[in-house]
Homo-oligomer: A and B are copies of this chain.
Amino acid sequence: MAKEGITARGKDYSQWYLDIVDKADMAENSGVRGCMVIKPHGYAIWEAIRDAMDERIKATGHVNAYFPLLIPKSFLMKEAEHVEGFAPEVAEVTRAGGEDLTETYVIRPTSETIIGSTYAKWIRSWRDLPVLINQWANVMRWELRTRPFLRTAEFLWQEGHTAHATEEEAERETLMVLHDIYADVVENVMAVPVLRGLKTDREKFAGALRTYAIEAMMQDGKALQAGTSHNLGQNFARSFDIKYTTADNREEYCWTTSWGTSTRLVGALIMAHSDDDGLVLPPKVAPTQVVVVPIFKNDAERSAVMEAVDRITADWKGRFRFKIDDRDNLSPGFKFNEWEVKGVPVRIEVGPKDVQKGTVAISRRDRPGREGKAFVEQAGLTEHVAQLLDEIQTALFERALTFQREHTFEVSSYDEFKTQIEQGFVRAYFDGDGNDEDRIKAETKATVRVIPFDQPEAEGTCFYTGRKTKQQAIFARSY
């Protein structure tokens, strides 16, 4: 039974998503076309993801910096594929300080060009390499159809931009970011399992040599690209003249990379875990991990219950992110509902009977109803809660992984492909080219999400071309 105001997933998944964003108080449309307001609850979740990402970005040797929001339009034009990819969707600043500008600026849709032009000034010799820099910023892409978190005109992200002496180093960086930063955060913090691999030329970043991605499965079987890492080769180095002098005094172009993750991840989080009752949050990203609801009818009960609540939570500070919901104008039922919709992983109720018995009632958000409710001793509760939070984190990941596996299908013919793609991901031998991908997309709305890293040893038959090949691809419809 779905909560009031939340459409059931089975009825209309797309509306369900919008309802969750709304009812869990995460974001709302603004008066600005395609731009959302990220509300405090949504922003706190983004902060948790961002902090986990930032920690890993720094631990792997990168430093943060900040480059201008505005980019001279002429910069965008310098890399041929890049301009083709981004020029149609930029917002342009043509007036400032009350005057028409002689040079038009665009609001950054991504910063390869402005950062590339800066690196060209910074890098002189092999001793200056590698340059390992990340930026946290807002970017803007004038999208026609927007959905909160998933696709908005303005979004928040991090973009890493590195420069290296050799192709091997750039490639190692590109893959390290994908595995050790992106997949690690998405799987081990957000509890969302991902598939990792290479994008086809059709799907790669505008201007990249190779794009790697992590792809997550949403509960409707569609894919969400959760992070991309690009080996840019020497393309941007040539366009922006990023050169270095080698140890033996030759001049070479640098090899550069770029990689990004964004507030889209909040959308991925919602769609991977939540249910018809509202948001479901993994403890590691939950702004509130535990809510304690004291239950009482009169002042005498109140004082006994609150005394127990204070005792129980005395050693929680710095250990859990918790709230004691002692608002006196709201019923327990109203509070339960509110915290459920907002996705708080653990709810603890303490009433007069619990005080007498030395117990509390403890409920898991990931298992709604009786199944997830238990009565436990107040003594040792802190340890119990710590363990429960770990369990929930693991259970959410396992549940999502099982779902992903059960909705990934191997097919050997295009007919089978067309049937199975309705249900989830399809993994199949595929050696088609970009034109084949276009036709498959036109006919089924599915695209190659990745050429996964784990490939079979044995040869097979391409489901589309009928040719023998050793390459498998993962297809899905996507957000």
Contacts and interface: CB of A to CB of B under 8 A. Distances in A.
Contact of A140 (B37, B69, B89, B94): B69
A94 B127 CA distance: 44
Nearest to A40: B63
A70 interface: yes
B95 A92 contact: yes
B43 A138 contact: no
Interface in A110-168: 114, 117-118, 127, 133, 137-138, 140, 142, 144, 154, 156
A63 B41 CA distance: 9
A286 B36 CA distance: 36
Contacts of A95: 91-92, 94
Nearest to A64: B43
Contacts of A30: 67-68, 114, 118
Contacts of A89: 97
Interface in A48-70: 63-70
B114 A40 contact: no
A142 B70 CA distance: 12
Interface in A293-320: none
A97 B93 contact: no
B94 A98 contact: no
A97 B88 contact: yes
A67 to B, nearest CB: 5
Contacts of A87: 98
A31 interface: yes
Contacts of A94: 92-95
A69 B97 CA distance: 17
A332 interface: no
A21 interface: no
Contacts of A64: 40, 43-44, 47
A309 to B, nearest CB: 20
Contacts of A127: 329
Contacts of A67: 30, 37-38
A253 interface: no
A13 B40 CA distance: 43
A425 interface: no
Nearest to A329: B127
A429 to B, nearest CB: 39
Nearest to A67: B37
Given A37-B118, A95-B91, A114-B31, A44 B63 contact: yes
A32 interface: yes
Contacts of A466: none
Contacts of A70: 32, 35, 91, 140, 154
Contacts of A37: 65-68, 118
Interface of A: 30-32, 35-40, 43-44, 46-47, 63-72, 75, 87-98, 105, 107, 114, 117-118, 127, 133, 137-138, 140, 142, 144, 154, 156, 329
21 contacts: A31-B72, A31-B75, A31-B114, A32-B105, A35-B69, A37-B66, A37-B67, A38-B65, A38-B67, A39-B65, A40-B65, A69-B69, A70-B154, A87-B98, A91-B96, A91-B97, A92-B95, A93-B93, A93-B94, A94-B94, A96-B142
Given A30-B114, A92-B93, 18 more contacts: A31-B68, A31-B72, A31-B114, A35-B69, A35-B70, A37-B65, A38-B67, A40-B63, A43-B66, A47-B64, A69-B107, A69-B140, A69-B154, A70-B140, A91-B93, A91-B96, A97-B144, A137-B138
